[in-house]
Amino acid sequence: MPELRCPLNLTAEKQPDAAAVVTPAGTTTFAELEQLVYISAVNLKECGVARNSHVAILGENSLDYYVLVLALLRIGAIFCAVNQRWPKRAVIKTLNSLDCPILIFTNNKSKSLNEPSLTEWQSKDIVPRELKKFRLRSEPVVKLDHPTAIIFTSGSCASPKAALLSYGNFYYNAISANKFIKFAKNDRWLLSLPLCHVGGLGILFRSIINGGAVVIPDSKEETAASINKFEISHTSFVPTQFYRLLNSGRADFLNHYPKVILGGAPATPELIKQGLKAGFKIYTTYGLTEMASQVTIGKADSHGHSGSLLKYRQLRIADDGEILVKGKTLFLGYVENDMAELPLDDQGWFHTSDIGEIDKKGRLTFLGRKDNMLISGGENIFPEEIESYLMQLSCVESAIVVGIKDKEYGERPVAFVKGSNSLSFDQFSGRLKKELEKNLPRYKIPIKFLNWPRQALNGSLKPDRQRLTRLAKKKQQAKQS
């Protein structure tokens, strides 16, 4: 099994006094971070955590959360990422299904789940509050093939799956991403993605490998204020987060404009145009949990591509347009019944269920989800295409298109839209329809526009398409009754 010296330990030796983690409470150097991780790993072992133990962390991004993840990795335990926005019942069910008996809260105000099957700890009992003079006591080794984390897929159109990733998956993702966009000493990356998501963990690995600092802001502070206060050089956003920043009224007051990596969903040409005009350096990327985050990346332009293939990955487009991937960042499999099953075809390709195309320059364009596709009157419709045109309109803040059953056509598109205008919703819907008719054939025009529901995100960064489909169906049935 290939192995290497722990990247954090190595970076702490090379640049001990450089900033590793920055929070509103202060700066933690790499030497201090190594000490925190070392002591926390010892404490975890004394509490019974061993190699291959399953341990979950629950809470907002924080220094404690960051340290605990690295301490679990140091031991060789498996970090189980649960979302703090999940309801209590979902957390308990998930941890029981993963045979994860230990849950660590990073927020001291968190309430106990009162679940007999779980052992609950507070991070303050594991992570030391004070540091003393410290010397590197060892040169710990990590095995690249060893299981490291169980991360849940976004679940945008189906129930989230538990993806098991190795240390090597994150390592190869980070070193190739760092080669494309330098992130090193004196750089600062704003951690705007949660550490329970693969995108957040990817930033952690990029930091400990190359020596850039991760900035964990106050969750209540506006993004623009954090960028100014901490002199941010790099950021990662899903398009919704970037849209909110650009339209917050605060982006014009930034004292500098960091590099922005946009992923998680396609960014509309209008959003990219607005961001570039504001002064941001924007990169668009395509990735997935099963590939430890990024697969392609490139400088954003009006063509809407997601960039070119990064090193250590392979990609091809199947005859039906599906994106297939493999390589050193490919996960170990989906965890089910104490087993990890990796669904590959006979040639070793993982089928992403995403539809895309590659241009003459080798750049990938994401077209939509295979399982989102609607067939209406024999015509294939990708909801993402309609959403893209809707999001180009200045009066539209959010838009998701789903399909409902239709006796004549099989399926018809329906759009949930969040707007910023003074028109009545009927007038607003009429305006949207007219705008879409300028760019789309009639069969792609939604037959109905619905108000954006409060529960659209369902505790995630991405809209819950399943829930919205059920809601559209329910409204349709109510109308017919």
Q: Averaged over 462-478, what is the pLDDT?
A: 81
Domain boundary among 311, 331, 366: 366
3-12, 426-435, 466-475: range with lowest mean pLDDT: 466-475
Are residue 105 and residue 155 in the same domain, yes or no?
Answer: yes
Q: Of 308, 333, 366, which residue is a domain's last?
A: 366
Q: Is the pLDDT of residue 288 over 80?
A: yes
Looking at the structure, tell me whether residues 27 and 96 fall in a common domain.
Answer: yes
Q: What CATH number is given to the structural domain containing 445?
A: 3.30.300.30
CA distance 328 to 174: 12
Pairing of strands 19-23, 213-215: parallel
**CA–CA separation, 265 and 70 (whole Å):** 28
Look-up of token digits 């017919």: 480
pLDDT score recorded for residue 158: 47
148 lies in the same domain as 187? yes
Most confident of the ranges 39-43, 130-134, 271-275: 39-43
Q: Tell me the average pLDDT across 349-363.
A: 94
Name every residue whose Cβ is closer than 8 Å to that of residue 110 and which is 6 or more positions away in sequence.
58, 59, 122
Local confidence band at 380 (pLDDT 50, 70, 90 cut-offs): confident
CATH code of the domain in which 303 resides: 3.40.50.12780
| Co-location of 415 and 354 in the same domain | no
pLDDT at 60: 92
Distance of alpha carbon 141 from alpha carbon 165, whole angstroms: 18
Three-state DSSP class for 178? helix
The reply to whether 90 and 113 lie within a common domain is yes
Give the model confidence (pLDDT) of 295-310 as tens digits.
999 999 877 789 999 9
Q: Mark whether 104 and 151 lie in a shared domain.
A: yes
User: Could you read off the pLDDT of 57-73 as tens digits, one per residue?
Assistant: 999 999 999 999 999 99
Q: Is the pLDDT of residue 381 over 80?
A: yes
* Distance from C-alpha of 14 to C-alpha of 19, rounded to nearest angstrom: 12
Domain containing 65 equals: 3-366
| Integer Cα distance of 290 and 342 in angstroms | 10
Taking residues 186-213, report their average pLDDT: 96
b/e burial code for range 262-291 (CB count within 10 A of at least 16 → b): bbbbbbbbbbbebbbeeebebbbbbbbbbb
Q: What percent of the chain has pLDDT over 90?
A: 64
How many independent structural domains does the chain possess? 2
Based on the fold, state whether residues 69 and 173 are members of the same structural domain: yes
- Regarding whether 99 and 164 lie in a shared domain, the answer is yes
Cβ contact 251:260 at 8 Å: no
HSE (side-chain half, CA atoms, 13 Å) at 26: 4
| Backbone dihedral region for residue 152 (phi beyond 0: left; psi -120 to 50: alpha; all else: beta) | beta
Q: Which residues contact 204 (CB under 8 A, 6 or more apart)?
A: 66, 69, 70, 195, 214
- Give the mean pLDDT of the chain: 90
Is there a single domain that holds both residue 190 and residue 258?
A: yes
Residues 168 and 279 in one domain: yes
Q: Does 399 lie in the same domain as 352?
A: no
* 297 and 430 inside one domain: no
Which secondary structure element, helix H or strand E, spans residue 121, and what is its range?
Answer: strand 119-122
Q: Would you tell me the crossing angle of helices 167-180 and 198-210 to the nearest 10 degrees?
A: 70
Whether residue 164 contacts residue 23, with contact meaning beta carbons closer than 8 Å, is answered with no
Provide the percentage of residues in the chain whose pLDDT is more than 70: 95
Q: Of 366, 391, 412, which marks where a domain is finished?
A: 366
